[in-house]
Amino acid sequence: MDVNGIVTVNVSGTRFEISKDTWLSIERKLHETHGAEEASKLYTRLHNEYFFERHPVCFSVVLGYFQNRGLHMPGSICPMEFKEELLFWGIDAEKMSNCCYSRFVGFFDDQKMLTMLDTDQSNRINERIYLDRRRRAKDWGAVQATVWSIMEEPSSGQLAKTELKEQFRMASKGGNQDEAFT
């Protein structure tokens, strides 16, 4: 800390010279977020500067927030990484300026949707595997599985209908009708 009230904060090699008041606000927030003992382990004081091993681009945004310039998400930073930085510095994401908040929230909404689609796709694949196994049988269960497949995927076309006819023929020769639809 400088005698003129200037504090040097080194964030992964990028130095920021900030007022002592701004530094005290940051330090206080770290203590509130992580507790006093843990907060003192988050940075190292070396040669009259405070060293943090964090993302320097994110810190410039964090610094702007503590200097009352608003909170804006840099376009070059992944929203997930930015969220982690906000959590580290004890900043609520809802404090973000409207111009960036919708993009930030939209990213997490998209991630939820992708997870849902991935789960749905896995379920469909598992269902197809199950139906394919049942269709290979030579009984009414195979007919039922084929009908189900055609109903689920009507675009399966003429080949599926031909297979259905073959399944009916095979099942009527030797399958048990009572077992097929129970």
Residue with structure tokens 């995927």? 153
- Statement: residue 70 has pLDDT above 80: yes
β-strand partners of 51: 10, 44
Record the pTM. 0.64
Question: Looking at residue 27, what is its pLDDT?
Answer: 95
Separation of CA 104 from chain center: 12
- Report how far residue 37's alpha carbon sits from residue 39's, in angstroms, rounded to the nearest whole number: 6
* Contact predicate 149/159, CB 8 Å: no
End-to-end CA distance of the chain: give it in Å, rounded: 80
pLDDT, mean of residues 38-65: 93
Report pLDDT digits (tens) over 93-125.
Answer: 999 999 999 899 998 888 899 888 888 888 888
3 state SS for 131-171: HHHHHCCCCHHHHHHHHHHHHHCHHHHHHHHHHHHHHHHHH
SS3 category, 47? coil
- Greatest Cα pair distance, the chain, in angstroms, is 98
Residue 148 has pLDDT above 50, yes or no: yes
Section 146-167 average pLDDT: 66
In a 3-state reduction of DSSP, which class is residue 113? Answer: helix
